[in-house]
Structure 1
Amino acid sequence: MSTSGSSSPLKIAAAFAVPVLVILALGKTLIHPTTNGAGTASAEALAVAERIQPVGLITLKKAAAGPARTGEQVFAAQCAACHKEGALGAPKLGDAGAWGPRVKNGFEALLNSALKGKGNMAAQGGGEFSDYEVARAVVYMANQGGAKFAEPAAPAAAPAQ
């Protein structure tokens, strides 16, 4: 006898149960997706916040207290990394041949390059040193290279509030 026309109750139940279980599993996955190792929802929120944060941030710092640093001190702390050895095309301290064309452009042009950056040199304005201190460093370096720039005048003290 052939059983092609009839189905056993077990086959009918399996044919019904398997699709129902698959639908339930898909529904659970869509409603409550599993984490990919990031952990809790708060960790995921932190990860999202980190990914969408601004590229650059502004931080305000208090001005350094005390007397302004000399050009030589600023050079040693900030400029020597490149200008001591002539790294990345920077004119070496004391090299009159390298400083000559720059000195011909004048102090203001050199200071502008130092404060705003030029070529491989990053801007120094707004950093650890005041514009006045950077100006003193420019005078120090240029004068070591043959310039005769005068020391810049100290900025006027801010009025007390």
Structure 2
Amino acid sequence: MSSPEQAYLDLLKAGGKTSEDVATKIFDQLKPIEPPFLIGEWEGGDFDTGHPTTEALKAIKWRGKNFHSEEDVEPIIVSGEGGKRTALVEYGRGRVREVKFRGVVSASLVYDDRPIIDQFRYVNENTVAGMMDVKGAPPGYHFHLIRYHAIHSKL
């Protein structure tokens, strides 16, 4: 039987199409992370579970998140002019806190101006699993972040 981390990576390799139940079951088994782990630039992607947020983020050309410090986070990075990574200012900024979610205390991104908390769990040194918690929206939006340097240092 594979580890939850390997099961998560297998979903990524397979293109990310899965059910919300499968993604949540794996997410719940992943280990927590501490806030400093998130510092840096991250490329993002999501799992195709049929959640409406997938289409909304495609429409704005979502690329990832930038964690400058625990107190200064750009939560929505998009492809700007010429494909440049650009913060979507309409979503404001955020900060990282440890929050208990689904029974586990882990690093979470709390948006300053929106009722959104992104919950994170450890997959490996360059990959984290994310699950968005939005007040008033359907639960279960699953996404992942991969360290920007891990992707772009190989190019």
TM-score range, shorter chain: under 0.3
Higher relative CO (Cα under 8 Å, sequence separation at least 6) belongs to 2
Judging by fraction of residues, say which structure has more helix: 1
Give the TM-score taking structure 2 as reference length: 0.25
Larger-gyration structure (1/2): 1
Give the TM-score taking structure 1 as reference length: 0.25
Judging by fraction of residues, say which structure has more strand: 2
